Amino acid sequence: MSLAVLRSHALAGVGAPAVNVEVHLANGLSAFIIVEPLLPPCPSV
């Protein structure tokens, strides 16, 4: 199994938070999984 890791940015309104992308390459059925860490709630303005 091969693993590729890269840093990128996501689009979130007018911001662009940094994200890590990990891709596992292997034989077998295709799969697409998004894992999002739990983030603290945004403070009210």
Q: At residue 26, what is the residue type?
A: A
- Contact predicate 21/6, CB 8 Å: yes
pLDDT in the model for residue 6: 87
The residue with tokens 């894992």 is: 35
Tokens of 3: 């693993």
Tokens of 28: 């077998």
Mean pLDDT, residues 23-37 taken together = 78
Pairing state between β 2-9 and 18-25: antiparallel
pLDDT in the model for residue 40: 64
pLDDT in the model for residue 42: 65
Closest CA to 36 of 5, 6, 10, 3: 10
Examine the pLDDT at 9 and tell me if it is beyond 70. yes
Residue scoring higher pLDDT (28 or 45): 28
